[in-house]
Homo-oligomer: A and B are copies of this chain.
Amino acid sequence: MSVAIDKVSVRNADATRQKILDIAFEEILLKGYQGLRVDGVLKKAALTKGAFYHHFSSKKELGLAVIDEVLKPWVEERWIEPLEDFKNPIDGLIELFHEARDEITVKELHTGCPLNNLTQEMSPLDESFRTRIAGIWDDWHNALVKTLERGQKDGYIRASAKPNNVARFLNAAVEGIIGQCKCYMDDKAFYEAGECLQDYVEGLRT
């Protein structure tokens, strides 16, 4: 066993910080930011106060870091980056939505969408939370607009559709649907409302 590997396993600041972030993210999804307990995160991470306050100056800073370093990359990977690969945005969006549906396991049903959860709870609590989260929404929105405009240019989407409006509507509809599943702890809303959403998207074809 090499010395280098032992070094990494004994002390690794980056890994420690990341572990705290990941667990904090999970905790926020389950209990909300206000329900998150620093002690609880530390217990799950098998760390102590010393470690936590070495990496973060406060619980609030942890919240900000979770938004910037966990939530934002997740949204980019899950909802934004796939958009770029669509040849026909209509088909792509429908498939993306189906993928999201399949991704929701029974266990995750009452968890809801990470972006929407943090948005609804954290954005009213603190202005610095809100602006950062709003930035993520903007990123997603802008990427959707770009994709829709490209779809129009390439002749897949009817010219009468307004990319800006459609993008906002799609964002809202998806979040609303997932929010329902969370309350019902049931994915029927995903299938039922999803059918209408698909109809709407189909209606955008040229």
Contact = CB atoms under 8 A, between A and B. Distances in A.
Contacts of A162: 195-196
B30 A183 contact: no
Interface stretch (A1-9, A89-97, A99-107, A130-138): A130-138
A182 B172 CA distance: 12
Given A30-B124, A34-B34, A120-B120, A197 B169 contact: yes
Interface string A111-152: 110001101110111000010011001000000000000000
A184 B137 contact: yes
Interface stretch (A16-24, A45-53, A74-82, A185-193): A185-193
Main secondary structure of the interface of A (DSSP, over half): helix
B172 A193 contact: yes
Contacts of A185: 130
A168 interface: yes
A179 B123 CA distance: 10
Task: Give the most central of A117, A179, A189: most B CB within 10 Å.
Answer: A179
12 contacts: A31-B124, A32-B32, A32-B34, A34-B34, A34-B35, A120-B179, A134-B184, A164-B192, A165-B196, A168-B192, A169-B177, A200-B200
